[in-house]
Structure 1
Amino acid sequence: MTLTDTLAGIGAPAPLLDADFYAFQQQLTPEEQAQIGRIRAFLDAEVRPDADRLWEEARSPRHLIPQLAELGLFGSAIPEVARFASSSVARGWIALEIARADPSTATFIGVHSGLAMNAIEVGGSPEQKAEWLPVMARGELIGAFGLTEPGHGSDTAKGLETTATRRTAADGTEEWVLNGAKRWIGNATFADVVVIWARDTADEQVKGFLVRQPAAGFTATKIERKQSLRGVENADITLQDVVVPESDRLPGIHSFRDVAIVLRLTRAEVAWQGIGVAVGAYEAALAYAKERTQFGRPIASFQLVQEKLANALSNITASIALCVRVSAMQDEGAQRDHHSAMAKAFVTARMREVVAWCREILGGNGIQLDHGVARYFADAEAVYTFEGTYDMNTLIVGRAITGHAAFV
């Protein structure tokens, strides 16, 4: 089925999700709601049916890249290449919809569009933006984002060990030599460009580099035996004397403060993804509870099951309210690191509770992919951790409200 066939006749606003208990989606414009309708139709027809198989096989949905690009899901926050006009709140809803269908697909898009493309948008020169952003928006080239290291995750700002040394090449041009290692880098096994963050040996500041693939001395090895977000192809990267021309350094990146701007843009979207994970589990558990009979009655009629469903829906509703506001603050230019950090920490903690309750409703069937909750239950653990752990995001908020940093 082509994308045109899938979306034929879809132009009306998407129906409200059962989990949108307070009808927040109705605050979006009719055009934004119609776009969500088109995206939901595609996800339900093309992503959901294959998600369990790809999860089991630990494969990213690469075959869907052309359709995802045609829907405008790559670079939707970047004015130069956006396929449709939307607010940050609407883009958050879209992130929710994608994660509701498949958290791995949401993460793949988040790495390529949210991290790699935004890094170029924030730190790139006009020439770099013109070269990379249009083709990445069309899905013709895929990006990855290399920040986390084997020994450094939460302390990356001060602990980054990958180095960049500037030198003059034999032909008189300036170039950089990168050495180090990265870990948990999504898309890196098949990306066409990897944004590598490295510490300049001259001034000790973190800088960004576009490493075109293939590159001599660059090796990406897929991480195996994962039990969460198996549909994301994470890799260990080694960089051994990787040469990058000065023209592929991101000139707008001068320190880790600039890297933090990129992370701020994506952290709130990850919070929306957390809601999507919770919604996917909630919908599956609700449907199961209505169909599953024990003691001669649907388990949905039992008080303790209803309590779990009501608590799950309350968590989802509170999370949507928080994310609607933090995304609106982004459009207002008022969002700061501590705002997005609170959203990510709160939402993913509530998400973790929701998927646990939903798995419990399914009993033993909750650990089997066939019944719709197990994949969300497993994937929630990775979403809870990446883009800043709960502890780190909580401490970012704590610093904002007390004026004291308590990271160590």
Structure 2
Amino acid sequence: MPNLLESDFYFFQEALSAPEQEAVLALREYMETSVRPIADACWSRAEFPMEVVKPLAELGLLGAPWPETRHFENTAVYRGWTAMEMGRVDASIATFVGVQNGLAMGSIAETGSPEQRAEWLPQLSRGEVIGAFGLTEPFSGSDSARGLRTTAERRGDTWVLNGAKRWIGNATFADVVVIWAKDTGDGQVKGFLVTKDTPGFVATKIEDKVALRTVQNADIVLTDVEVPESRRLQNANSFRDTATVLRLTRAEVAWQAVGVAIGAYEAALAYAKTREQFGKPIASRQLVQDLLVRSLGNITASIAICLQVSKLLDQGRQHDAHSALAKAYTTARMRETVGWCREVLGGNGIVLEHGVARFFADAEAIYSYEGTREMNTLIVGRAITGFAAFA
């Protein structure tokens, strides 16, 4: 497998098996030839390219972790690496896959019944059905464990959902949304599969974003939405079950953040080698080399932490604090890196055509979603001190 000498400086990709390396190469080729040429235009228009869904499914990106749907035996390291590969070209596509594969399919795989897994996972893995994950609310984000306001009231074999969700990725075109709601009977959080044609379900696109513009985030309103008991996730009985899904996806978001940093770094490096000022390429200047080396250092350290947290997942040893530290650390380093890379380009760093601006903007969303740096810090802080300092 050709090494990305510009970014994988310590040859971390050697941790991948031969079949995994081949799959990464196929993904890289697709991202370079089919996604990169349209990425800026889609971002500028805030439109999602639906034509990418089927090829991503055919590449085995959708459903890779689950026995029913994976194309070949693969590791958490491989799945993280694919998130990084997508992120280095287009963070919005990586986010789409993360929602479809990790949050929607993950909720069903981790908390659904065998019948629900058999019904939904194959369709989602083929891209025939698009999924979304509805947890965050207009007034409940970091405090979802306690502050969830969406309710589910059981009436015989039917549940009635009322409430609102916000920032729900894929929701404008999703066929099914996993809605997390608080049971009015026992006060516990439960999960429900709500299809887009259900009366009382309305998803409205959030406009005027300055990050991840290609991702179609939505406000969702649920008004007396009736869901049969057969579409309640049968093994989702508390917020702890929701947290299990988030722990798995949070580590892949950390990998995605590394990809964004790499995308900005590679663009800045290429620019520095060709941009001339005072008769020489700016890459020959000490101050520019300093920015590039600091960026590479951040990337290298971030890959190392992601690699280890994914190995822990493969070994069954990963805990919430492990993925929380990875997400907090890599997104902070990503934010630094895209800033330095934009600085390399000077004024050209704020326009799309030079390859850094989109990564610079998208980093802001990745820094915040799947748990802010502050919340992930508190998760790690609780683990190392024994004291919870959330409020």
Interval containing the TM-score (normalised by the shorter chain): over 0.9
> Which amino acid in 1 is paired with 2:201?
F
Equivalence for 1:26: 14
TM-score (norm 1): 0.95
Equivalence for 2:80: 92
Equivalence for 1:106: 94
SS of the counterpart of 1:184? strand
Structure 1: gaps (5+ residues)? 1-12, 169-173
What are the Cα deviations for residues 44-95 of structure 1, in whole angstroms up to 9, with x where unaligned?
0000110000001101121111111000010111111111221111111111
Equivalence for 1:270: 253
Out of 42, 46, 71, the residue aligned to residue 83 of structure 1 is 71
Name the CA distance, whole Å, in 2 between partners of 1:193 and 1:31. 32
Equivalence for 2:193: 210
What are the Cα deviations for residues 12-41 of structure 1, in whole angstroms up to 9, with x where unaligned?
x34335200000001211111111001100
Determine whether 1:184 maps to 2:167.
yes
Out of 206, 211, 214, the residue aligned to residue 228 of structure 1 is 211
Equivalence for 1:321: 304
> Which amino acid in 2 is paired with 1:156?
S
SS of the counterpart of 2:174? coil
> Which amino acid in 2 is paired with 1:154?
S
| 8 Å Cα contact 1:15/1:37 also seen in 2 | no
Name the CA distance, whole Å, in 2 between partners of 1:55 and 1:232. 8
Equivalence for 2:281: 298
Residue 212 of structure 1: how far off its partner (Å): 1.3
Name the CA distance, whole Å, in 1 between partners of 2:314 and 2:203. 36
Determine whether 1:49 maps to 2:41.
no
Name the CA distance, whole Å, in 1 between partners of 2:15 and 2:121. 30
| 8 Å Cα contact 1:61/1:105 also seen in 2 | no
| 8 Å Cα contact 2:62/2:101 also seen in 1 | yes
Residue 407 of structure 1: how far off its partner (Å): 0.8
Name the CA distance, whole Å, in 1 between partners of 2:272 and 2:306. 28
Out of 108, 113, 118, the residue aligned to residue 130 of structure 1 is 118
Out of 355, 359, 370, the residue aligned to residue 338 of structure 2 is 355
> Which amino acid in 2 is paired with 1:140?
E
* Sequence identity percentage: 64
Q: What value does the CA root-mean-square deviation take over the aligned residues?
A: 0.7
SS of the counterpart of 2:152? strand
| 8 Å Cα contact 2:3/2:11 also seen in 1 | no
SS of the counterpart of 1:199? strand
Name the CA distance, whole Å, in 2 between partners of 1:175 and 1:122. 23
> Which amino acid in 1 is paired with 2:259?
G
Equivalence for 1:6: none
> Which amino acid in 2 is paired with 1:272?
W
How many aligned positions are there?
391
Question: Are the structure 2 counterparts of residues 67 and 14 from structure 1 closer, same or farther at C-alpha, using a change threshold of 3 Å?
Answer: farther
Name the CA distance, whole Å, in 2 between partners of 1:376 and 1:347. 15
Name the CA distance, whole Å, in 2 between partners of 1:276 and 1:239. 35
Equivalence for 1:396: 379
Equivalence for 2:236: 253
> Which amino acid in 1 is paired with 2:6?
D
- Aligned positions of 1:349-388 closer than 5 A: 349-388=332-371
Name the CA distance, whole Å, in 1 between partners of 2:212 and 2:332. 17
Name the CA distance, whole Å, in 2 between partners of 1:331 and 1:42. 27
| 8 Å Cα contact 1:282/1:355 also seen in 2 | yes
Equivalence for 1:115: 103
Equivalence for 1:343: 326
Question: Are the structure 2 counterparts of residues 139 and 397 from structure 1 closer, same or farther at C-alpha, using a change threshold of 3 Å?
Answer: same
TM-score (norm 2): 0.99
SS of the counterpart of 2:297? helix
| 8 Å Cα contact 1:165/1:178 also seen in 2 | yes
Name the CA distance, whole Å, in 2 between partners of 1:31 and 1:226. 38
